[in-house]
Amino acid sequence: MPDLHSLHQHIAGREIQRDWFRRAMEPQLVATGVMTARGRGRPAELFRHPPRARDNS
């Protein structure tokens, strides 16, 4: 989530509050169950977009 947050801030060209960003993004993402340990601190959980339903019309 921190990488996605940084990307959105860079594109927006302004600071985006971390708590607001997480609340806005979590309903749109699915946890992968994979953790990554980069640097210090608690390992970060990885997320992905859920697959979209295909329109077979």
Which residues constitute the domain of residue 6? Answer: 2-48
pTM: 0.69
Residue 1 has a pLDDT of: 83
pLDDT 10s digits, 6-57: 999 999 999 999 999 999 999 999 999 999 887 788 888 889 988 876 766 5
Q: Where are the beta strands (DSSP E) in 4-56?
A: 30-36, 44-48
Which pLDDT value is given to residue 25? 92
**CA–CA distance from 5 to each of 8, 10, 33, 56 (Å)?**
5, 9, 19, 34
Total domains in the chain come to 1
- Residue 41: per-residue pLDDT: 84
Tell me, yes or no, whether 53 lies in a domain. no
Q: Is 55 within a domain?
A: no
Give the C-alpha separation, 28 to 30, whole Å.
7
pLDDT at residue 15, as a whole number? 96
In this prediction, residue 52 carries a pLDDT of: 78
